[in-house]
Amino acid sequence: MSKYQHTSMYCYPGTDVLVNAFDIRDEDKLKELETVYALYRLSELQLKKPKDPTDLNVFLDIHRCLLQDVYPFAGKLREEMTSKGSSTFAHPKHLASQLKQLFDELAEESYLKRMGKDVFIQRLAHYLAELNALHPFREGNGRAVREFARQLALNAGYLLDWAKIEEPAHIINAFVDSFNKDNERLEVLLGEIIN
């Protein structure tokens, strides 16, 4: 059963398997391959000095880099409605304008630079919650958002280490809470992994 609740234009007809560069039709095998390539690309990103996340293009580039080897939609905003469980994400026709508004807001806050740790965590949680609620990509949202957060934190003078979280469910649960307008768990989690 698909985690998404409808037939997708991104999938092979009659399946829940995303169209991919390897023409793999087995979802489990595709996930394994996707993980390997995304981890490789993530390690490349972590070796580079991050760009100031000044606009949507930097965020799109992160997604493109992470999934470029696997999916033709890497770095592109999704073009269909999507949901997971009881959460329905933003309508695709609003994604570009909502993301522009979010990045404009981030610019007004000087990309969270020169903030004390507590305020930084609160504002970072806000932006991560908003990006998660928009869910701008068909696949790879969590990875792109986490890498964006790492780069944003680094540019603001903080180290954010997602690897400190031993149980991935903690991240998922924090984002589920934030989707329901409660950033407390996300803020606590960020407080544990930011130096």
Q: What is the pLDDT of residue 54?
A: 65
All domains of the chain in start order, with CATH: 27-193 (1.10.3290.10)
Q: How far is CA 128 from CA 64, 95, 118, 131, 144, in A?
A: 18, 15, 15, 5, 11
pTM of the entire structure?
0.92
Task: Name beta bridge partners: 18.
Answer: 11
Asked whether the beta carbons of 77 and 154 are under 8 A apart, the reply is no
CA-based radius of gyration for the chain:
16
Integer Cα distance of 32 and 41 in angstroms: 14
Q: Where are the beta strands (DSSP E) in the chain?
A: 83-84, 87-88
Q: What is the pLDDT of residue 53?
A: 65
Per-residue pLDDT of the chain in tens (195 residues, 90 and over written 9): 445 445 789 999 999 999 999 999 999 999 999 999 999 999 999 998 877 666 788 999 999 999 999 999 999 999 999 988 888 999 999 999 999 999 999 999 999 999 999 999 999 999 999 999 999 999 999 999 999 999 999 999 999 999 999 898 999 999 999 988 899 999 999 999 999
